[in-house]
Amino acid sequence: METRISNILIENAAELFGQEITERLVQFQKTNKEFEGDLTLVVFPFVKLLKCSPEAAGERLGAFLSERVDGIKSYNVVKGFLNLVIDDSYWLKNLIEMDKDERFGFKEPNSSSTLMVEYSSPNTNKPLHLGHLRNIFLGYSVSNILKAHGHKVIKTQVINDRGIHICKSMLAWERFSPTNAKGERETPSNTGIKGDKLVGKYYVEFDKHLKAETDELLRSWEAEGYKDLNKEVVEELDKLFQAKEAKDEEGRKAIDSKIKEIAKNQTSLMREAKEMLIKWEARDPQVYRLWSTMNGWVYSGFDQTYETMGVDFDKLYYESDTFLLGKDLVIDGLKSGVFYKKEDGSVWIDLSDEGLDEKLVLRSDGTAVYMTQDIGTAVDRYKDFPDLEGIIYTVGNEQDYHFKVLFLILEKLGYAWAKNCYHLSYGMVDLPTGKMKSREGTVVDADELMAEVIDQAKAMTMERGHIEGMPDEEREALYKLIGLGGLKYYLLKVDPRKRMMFNPEESIELNGNTGPFIQYAHARIQSLLSKAEGVDSFTEATLQPEEKEIIKHLTDFPAVVSEAASTYSPALIANYTYELAKLYNHFFQSITVLKEENDSLRNMRLILSRNVAKTIRNSMGLLGVDVPERM
């Protein structure tokens, strides 16, 4: 209707306004609930053209549109707003048309540009946690939404399988893993521990031993002074200790933190980890074999977690491959003047002209940093997919600066496609107990959290007692469907840019803005349709206000999908679906369906119900959430 009205006004602008107008002038909004109407045209943009008051302009436009546009039943003007009442026949025709289309709201597959969505991208030194869950569900959902909007989508992750953090787990396993009676160190097979969790255990173990060695070193510096350090480190420490005396308490804490960081880097444990990284980049056989073995444990663990989550990927990238390309690109950029080398041999880029600062792209010892490998990964992807028109990086907002720099570097290296790269920046997930820290082992494990919500869904479902006669296998599948559905929905209903507090108990509640509330609405409709034993067409019907509101909301679905795709926001889909479920529940409690004596009305209400169920199913599918037939 909006398009039709807009076209009529543009086509007849000379008659109405005495001059041509653009589409930008025609603005619509939803009618305020206290006034009668289904659609409101904002009149203020036309007041100057019509040379009259807003009320008079609204009357002239209302009369004109009532005469020229089929389906406008009546209108009223409130100040500068023209409220249009649309005839029932228009809404019923919309219902009939959407009922014919199982993919209502979706565009033709692969009818638009090719986009890549990166999500998850874990480190191979620890298992997935709650923060990863928001990332993964967000990236997977955005992929689904872009597909629904017609894009060809490549789902990918880059696995952070190299770097000092990986070497920390490797070294800790070598140093601190106990041996069994056979003389074997701990492995997933001889302990029964999931591979990613076993490796993560030793990442925490490294930090524990590093902290102890750092504290001991700081005590020795305090008692005996610092010795056996190179000249540059000694000079830096002298400056810090001298500066500390002139600082207030907060300033002394900041300096203590810097001194502690220097001490960490002087520990034997950290030196060994750095030496291991250099050996790895030189393909030392023993180090490389250990790296391959421990990464294999982690990949097996990740695969199990992804299967439970119900997510997948089309293409995997590994930093152990792409960092080499990144190093080559840095050397090329050094030759062309994009980068420059410092006296210690490290390579940098100066982005001060762009309002940023200097950024390291290659360490003095020749090892790569995150930026190096991200440059290589981006270029590698465009080589693999020549039709690629953009990459969406799903990464937390603590990396905002990193991606500004990355995209700028890619542009300076001559890659025009860098302008089409987008950082889907999302807020962190907080817990009532505070922030998670991987090194300290205080994260909420993804596997354990998913198991917890499934158990809670089981308890809630059994308490309600609506699954009598359901086979055990189906029951277990239902508990998983409800638990994971609640978890995904809870993490996706919040605008991605906002930080959020996570409460697992709330996620599986049957009331309020939750996944199970919407899943139950779908199950209720499926039960209704099953009892109806078939639905016939209808000839005519008079809509009740509740029915009209539902059809209006259903009609909005294609526009919501479009907006969610352009803003990369599954929250728009989630909250649209919640409103749809609320509208249907109100309808279901207020209006007779199966016992309606008028066959035409009964069939219309069943078709209405069928399309609500279909839209709930399709919209929740965009979020990666399944809906049950029975609940």
Helix-strand-coil percent breakdown of the chain, rounded to 5?
60, 10, 30
- What pLDDT is recorded for position 441? 47
* First-to-last C-alpha distance (Å) of the chain: 37
One-letter identity of residue 298:
V
CB 623 within 8 A of CB 141: yes
Over its C-alpha atoms, the chain yields an Rg (Å, rounded) of 31
Average pLDDT over all residues of the chain: 94
73 lies in some domain? yes
Amino acid 225: pLDDT: 85
499 contacts: CB under 8 Å, gap ≥ 6: 427, 428, 429, 430
Give domain status of residue 111, yes or no: no
Which pLDDT tens digit goes with each residue over 561-577? 999 999 999 999 999 99
Please tell me the least confidently modeled range out of 140-144, 161-165, 170-174, 491-495.
161-165
For the chain, count helices (H), then strands (E): 24, 14
609-627: average pLDDT: 98
Same domain assignment for residues 241 and 368: yes
- Residue 435, pLDDT > 60, answer no
Q: Between residues 365 and 617, which one has the greater pLDDT?
A: 617
Q: What is the DSSP string of 81-99?
A: EEEEEEPHHHHHHHHHHHH
Work out the number of other CB atoms within 10 angstroms of the CB of residue 472: 7
Do 533 and 611 lie in one domain? The reply is yes
Task: For 141-165, write each residue's pLDDT tens digit.
Answer: 999 999 999 999 999 999 999 889 9
pLDDT band at 465 (very low <50, low <70, confident <90, very high): confident
Residues 591, 553 within the same domain:
yes
- pLDDT of 304 > 70? The answer is yes
404 inside domain? yes
Q: Which residue has the higher pLDDT, 91 or 245?
A: 91
Is 509 in the same domain as 550? yes
Q: How many Å apart are CA 375 and CA 394, to the nearest integer?
A: 16
pLDDT at 193 over 80: yes
Q: Is residue 98 part of a domain?
A: no
Q: Which residue has the tokens 């959020």?
A: 500
Q: Indicate the residue among 86, 116, 132 that finishes a domain.
A: 86
Q: Concatenate the DSSP letters of all residues of 442-473 into one string.
A: -S-BHHHHHHHHHHHHHHHHHHHT--TT--HH
**H helix or E strand, kind and range, residue 165:** helix 164-176
* Domain boundary, last residue among 86, 106, 140: 86
| Whole-number pLDDT of residue 430 | 83
Predicted pLDDT at 249: 85
392: in domain: yes
Same domain, 421 and 392: yes
d(CA 431, CA 131): 11
Q: Report whether 333 contacts 379 (CB < 8 A).
A: no
Distance CA 516, CA 627 (A): 9
pLDDT at residue 438, rounded to an integer: 43
The neighbour count for residue 22, using CB atoms within 10 Å, is 8
Query: What's the pLDDT at 71?
Result: 92
* pLDDT band (50, 70, 90) for residue 505: confident
Q: Is the pLDDT of residue 452 over 50?
A: yes
pLDDT of residue 366: 87
Is the pLDDT at 199 greater than 90? The verdict is yes
Rounded to the nearest 10 degrees, the angle between the axes of helix 599-622 and helix 557-567 is: 10
Is 215 a residue whose pLDDT tops 70?
yes
CA distance 518 to 516: 5
> For residue 376, what is the domain's CATH number?
3.40.50.620
**Partners of 154 in the β-ladder:** 116
pLDDT computed for residue 442 by the predictor: 55
Residue 246 reports pLDDT greater than 80: no
Q: What is the DSSP string of 553-602?
A: HHHTHHHHHHHHHHHT-HHHHHHHHHHHHHHHHHHHHHS-STT-S-HHHH
> How far is residue 425's CA from residue 1's CA, in Å, rounded to a whole number?
35
Choose the weakest-confidence range: 132-141, 169-178, 435-444. Answer: 435-444
Question: Does one domain contain both 474 and 375?
Answer: no
pLDDT at residue 463, rounded to an integer: 85
pLDDT exceeds 50 at position 239: yes
| Claim to verify: residue 181 and residue 249 sit in the same structural domain | yes
Give residue 433's pLDDT: 62
Which of 430, 458, 481 corresponds to the end of one domain?
A: 430
pLDDT above 90 as % of the chain = 85
Identify whether 322 is part of a domain: yes
Q: Within this chain, do residues 407 and 455 fall inside the same structural domain, yes or no? A: no
For 374-428, the pLDDT digits (tens) are 999 999 999 999 999 999 999 999 999 999 999 999 999 999 999 999 999 999 8
Q: Is the pLDDT of residue 65 over 90?
A: yes
pLDDT band at 244 (very low <50, low <70, confident <90, very high): confident
Give CA separation, 359 vs 265, 342, 420, in Å.
21, 12, 22
Indicate whether 409 and 491 sit together in one domain: no
Q: Taking a C-beta distance cutoff of 8 angstroms, is the pair 347, 361 a contact?
A: yes
Residue 330 main-chain phi, psi, to 5 deg: -65, -45
- Domain coverage including residue 313: 158-430
pLDDT > 70: percent of the chain: 98
Are residue 450 and residue 382 in the same domain, yes or no?
no
Where residue 507 sits, what CATH number does that domain have?
1.10.730.10
**314 belongs to a structural domain:** yes
pLDDT of res. 169 = 97
Q: Is 174 helix (H, G, I), strand (E, B) or coil?
A: helix
User: In a 3-state reduction of DSSP, which class is residue 161?
Assistant: coil
Residue 41: phi, psi to the nearest 5? -95, 125
Number of domains observed in the structure of the chain: 3
pLDDT at 439: 45
The predicted pLDDT at position 248 comes to 86
**Whether pLDDT at 17 is above 70:** yes
Please say whether the beta carbons of 127 and 202 come within 8 A: no
Residues 386, 459, single domain; the answer is: no
Question: Looking at residue 272, what is its pLDDT?
Answer: 97
CA angle 256, 259, 263 (to 5 degrees): 135
Distances (CA, A) of 527 to 44, 177, 598, 618, 619: 48, 56, 21, 18, 20
The answer on 469 and 352 residing in a single domain is: no
In a domain? residue 102: no
Distance CA 166, CA 78 (A): 65
For the stretch 362-385, pLDDT in tens is 999 888 889 999 999 999 999 999
**pLDDT of the residue at 359:** 96
In eight-state DSSP terms, residue 229 is -
Residue 159 · residue 317 · CB < 8 Å: yes
Contact 309, 450 (CB under 8 A): yes
